[in-house]
Amino acid sequence: MIELLDSIEAPKRNDTGPVRLSVLDRYKEKNLYIMGKLENGVLKHGETYTLMPNKLKIEVDWLFDTEERGVPYAKPGESVRIRCKGVDNENEVTRGNVLCSNDDLCAIFNVFEAEIQVLELQEQQIIANGFKCILHFHTYIEECTIDIKCEIDRQKKTEKKVKFVRSQARIKAFVKTNNPLCGEKYERFPQLGRFSMRFEGMTIAIGKILKYKPYTK
């Protein structure tokens, strides 16, 4: 088992690109604190970043690692806690927000096209247009609706229009959520471009975002 674990290549993360930190939680204790996971770039103490989707400017007043030590910076893959300057109202920060470099902001959307691998469905269950389930997307948990664009035949490398699919199908589909999401295309930031779907307590599909329609109010 140890040899097998040692043979697994760790996921590659970019510590030279723009900052992307997905917010998991926040709380107020004199100052506002944000907890999350750094997916890309290097987060630095004393620097100012933009929190999406509200475009709030937040200064990293203090940065703590998982052992509650103050650190000067954090690298991709690390979970951190940030003491913030610039935000007094904790309700302006919610789970699923993304802290970004000021000159490179993540996208906001509530409709996206995805490639989806359907896993094991319950007996007689199908996925058709209008199917509703729960989307788990980095730190978001949102209800979503699926509209099938086509089914993908991996062996023949062809696509065909279908009205529904069953277990183990691979499809391209449009996914819509009621609330806007912050994220990226899979090809640019895999950690912020992949998702899973659950229905009645079961994980029924996994997927990746191919493209999105920018959100407008």
- The pLDDT, as a whole number, for residue 7 is 64
State the Cα–Cα distance between residues 142 and 135, nearest whole angstrom: 5
| Nearest in space to 140 (alpha carbons), one of 213, 52, 29 | 52
84-127 pLDDT, tens digit per residue, is 988 878 899 999 999 999 999 999 999 999 999 999 998 889 99
End-to-end CA distance of the chain: 51
Q: How far is Cα 118 from Cα 52, in angstroms, rounded to an integer?
A: 30
- At residue 88, the pLDDT reads 79
The total of other beta-carbon atoms located within 10 Å of residue 72's CB is 8
Q: How confident is the model at residue 11 (pLDDT cuts 50, 70, 90)?
A: low
- Whether residue 1 is predicted with pLDDT greater than 90 in this model: the reply is no
What is the mean pLDDT of the segment spanning 195-206? 95
- pLDDT value of position 30: 86
